[in-house]
Amino acid sequence: MNTVSTALTIALLFAARAAATDAESPEYWYRTGRDAVAAAKRLAPIDGRAKYVILFVGDGMGVSTVTAARILEGQRRGQPGEENLLSFEKLPYTALIKTYNTNQQTSDSAGTMTAMVAGAKTKAGVLGANQNVVRGDHTTMGGHTLTTILELAERAGLSTGVVTTTSVTHATPAACYAHSPERDWEDDSELPDTARSAGFPDIARQLIEFSEGDGLDVVLGGGRQHFLPAARTDPEYSQKRGRRTDHRDLTDEWLAKTRAAYVWNLKEFEAVEADRTDHLLGLFEPGHLQFEADRDADPAGEPSLAAMTAKAIDLLARNSRGYFLMVEGGRIDHGHHWANAYRALGDTIEFARAVDAALAKTDRRDTLIVVTADHSHVFTLGGYATRGNPVLGKVVANDERGDPRKSPEADGLGLPYTSLTYGNGPGYTGASDDQPEGPKHAHHRGTGYKGVTAGRPDLSTVNTEDERYLFESAVPLAGETHGGEDVPLYADGPMAHLFHGVLEQHVVFHVMAEALGLPR
Describe the strand order of the beta sheet including 93-98 as a list of residue ranges: 260-263, 279-283, 218-222, 159-167, 323-329, 52-58, 367-372, 487-492, 93-98, 502-504
What one-letter code names the amino acid at 430? G
Nearest Cα residue to 372 out of 335, 414, 329, 339: 329
Instruction: Report the interhelical angle of 341-361 vs 63-76 (nearest 10°).
Output: 80
What one-letter code names the amino acid at 41? K
> Positive or negative CA dihedral for 128, 132, 135, 137?
negative
Report the C-alpha gap between 214 and 399 in whole angstroms: 65
What single string gives the DSSP state of each residue in 367-378?
EEEEEE-S-EES
Report the C-alpha gap between 22 and 206 in whole angstroms: 58
Q: Just list the catalytic residues.
A: 109
Q: Phi then psi for 164, rounded to 5 degrees?
A: -155, 160
Report the C-alpha gap between 277 and 346 in whole angstroms: 32
Describe the strand order of the beta sheet including 379-381 as a list of residue ranges: 379-381, 420-425, 473-476
Residue 407: how many other CB atoms lie within 10 Å: 15
Report the C-alpha gap between 105 and 352 in whole angstroms: 28
